[in-house]
Amino acid sequence: MGLLTIIGLCVLCGGLGAWVFQKLRIPQVVGYIVIGVLIGESGLRVVQAADIVALRPFNLFALGLIGFLVGGELHGSIFKKYGKQFTAILLGEGLLAFFLVGIPSTLIVYLICHSFPVALAAGVVFGAIASATDPASTIDVLWEYRTAGVLTTAVIAIVALDDALAMTLYALGTSAAQMLTSGTADVGKELIGVCVELFGSVFLGLGAGFGLNLILRFLPQKERRLGLALGVILLTISAAVVFDMDVILATMSIGILLTNIAPRRSKELFEVIRSFSAPIYILFFVLVGARLGIRNMPPWIWGLVVVYVAMRSLGKWAGSFWGGRISKAEPSVCKYMGLSLFAQGGVAVGLSIMASQHLQGIQITETMTLGDMIIFTVTATTLVVQLIGPSCTKLAVRLAGEIDRNITEEDVMAEMCVGDAMNPEVQPIPEDMPLTMVLQQFAQRDALVYPVVSTTGKIHGVLTFDSLKELLTDADSWQWLVAGDVMEPVKERTTVLMKLGDVLDDMNRSQIEAMPVLSCEKSEEAAGILDVRYARRRIREELIRRTTAV
């Protein structure tokens, strides 16, 4: 099949899988990955290895967008306030996972190959890879459930920084492994290489961010801003690949710089990019599942997988807990941060591939090298933790009470009907009500428009403050005029069950400040008035209620 067919199949099936898993109250990213497993190397093999290699640019683009959007969440004020907490938690969860995975992995591999240097090399590499956390699936869960709060802020910061820690531990680990098995590695050289990669990625992103900021400053058109921003992101990704730098760190640096030096100007750009990126994320996660090949793994590796997953999860949880306690983090961060860090994805798989290239010539058994064992184990553990990790992240933010707290006025409007936003003080005016009483009603209440109804309750017209202005100076006419004499015909109307957002959009386009509301479409019975000012006030009240509720 052609690449376009593969892309269409992945996006369509991934979207359907996400819908099914959401119905089961499981994060949508699990649905993407399961679909990928079913159609990939471990399933029907509809998507094959050659297709995954050909689609690598899309994976890089998705990682770049994730890094950019994550960077947009990292404001300088957050690190100023929580910097010590983040550092303690990062070191706690990363280093404890390193040791808890590395030590038992060494023992298991020693029982297989009976060579302590080889076993220790394997344990060190496994420990280094275990410290990595997948930012993509973790952030996807936070966005899906619209989370906001102290825990969400901490999770975003930790998964953003975890890349740097994992790569540093990996450089030390692979260097130590090569020295143990062949004695040829140069630790200093490896560390210099990691520093160049990490700081080079940051400086590359900062340079691109300054350039993009200039574009946003002098280019007011939204459409052109989006196109040029994507161009800058794509060129940054390309440069990072060419110079062997970290794609996520490079694009994350762009997002961090923009959100801190031009928060207002960049806010809309982040929102637009997030709104159209869904198909790219679907393709990315489906391909993550498709490349997880676990068909030909020997049984003893599954024992290593179980130990790796259990010890890594324990290390992430316990390290986060003690790091939070030492740094006096919020209770919700101490208790639930570890649950949010179980996912393991592209970074770990990439590190395992690089490790296999360095350690390919070392035999574990007659049919398996150390490099192959690392790839098999990390692939299988990635499959397991990618299936349980997003659900654990959801559980963590739910226990912390942070689900559905990152909502907007548009989200509130989408769930409200016209009847929810009508002003209850505005009662219909009978058409035979004397004008003196009508004027008293206008004077006593804040509303500027009232529906006028017949004796049977059917709407006949509306009374506006503007229509009464001319009569204010003619007090003699107040005694003999009634509401029906000065009402205006009804030009627009709505019903109590109409979607509030749609009606407010129509009113904005027609420049209408208030509109009569009917009880239903088949009836002319007036239910009240939809006043834009009052409706906006109700929306803000509901937004505050939802975001502050725990």
pLDDT at position 180:
67
Q: Answer yes or no: is pLDDT of 221 > 50.
A: yes
At 450, give phi and psi (nearest 5°). -135, 140
Question: Could you report the per-residue pLDDT of 136-185, keeping only the tens digit for each?
Answer: 788 888 888 888 888 888 888 888 777 777 777 777 776 777 676 665 55
Cβ 253 vs Cβ 204: under 8 Å? yes
- Here the tokens at position 264 are 């207002």
Instruction: Determine contact, residues 449/526, Cβ cutoff 8 Å.
Output: no
Q: What confidence category does residue 203 fall into, taking pLDDT thresholds of 50, 70 and 90?
A: very high
Count Cβ atoms within 10 A of the Cβ of residue 4 and give its class: 0-12 exposed, 13-18 middle, 19 or more buried.
exposed
The architecture CATH gives domain 9-406: Up-down Bundle (1.20)
For residue 153, the SS3 value is helix
Residue 100 has pLDDT above 90, yes or no: yes
Which of 312, 306, 249, 325 is CA-nearest to residue 95? 312
In angstroms, the first-to-last Cα distance of the chain is 50
* Other CB atoms within 10 Å distance of the CB of residue 231: 12
Q: Where in the chain is the domain with CATH 1.20.1530.20?
A: 9-406
The DSSP symbol for 401 reads: T
Task: Identify which has the larger pLDDT, 281 or 228.
Answer: 228
Instruction: Please report which confidence band the pLDDT of residue 27 belongs to, taking 50, 70 and 90 as the band edges.
Output: confident
Do residues 343 and 393 touch, judged by C-beta distance below 8 A? yes
CA distance linking residue 102 with residue 120, whole number of Å: 8
Where in the chain are all domains bearing CATH 3.10.580.10?
Answer: 411-548
In this structure, the number of other CB atoms found within 10 A of the CB of residue 97 comes to: 31
- Rounded CA-CA distance 532/221 in Å is 29
Q: How confident is the model at residue 550 (pLDDT cuts 50, 70, 90)?
A: very low
Read off the pLDDT of residues 356-413 as tens digits, 9 standing for 90 and up: 656 666 777 776 777 778 877 887 887 788 788 888 999 998 898 888 777 777 777 7
CA dist., res. 40 & res. 365, Å (int): 28
- Best CA proximity match to 112, nearest among 377, 356, 325: 377
Give domain 411-548's CATH superfamily: CBS-domain (3.10.580.10)
pTM here? Answer: 0.66
Mean pLDDT, rounded, for 264-283: 81
Q: Is it the case that residue 36 has pLDDT exceeding 50?
A: yes
Which pLDDT score is estimated for 314?
93
Q: Is the pLDDT of residue 443 over 80?
A: no
Report which listed range, 40-44, 190-194, 388-392, 425-429, is most confident: 388-392
pLDDT at 23: 83
Write the CB contacts of 175 (distance below 8 Å, at least 6 apart in sequence): 185, 186, 187, 190, 191
Q: Is the pLDDT of residue 69 over 70?
A: yes
Rounded to whole angstroms, the Cα distance separating 89 from 329 reads: 9
Report the percentage of the chain scoring pLDDT > 70. Answer: 85
Strands (E), 413-492: 429-430, 449-453, 459-464
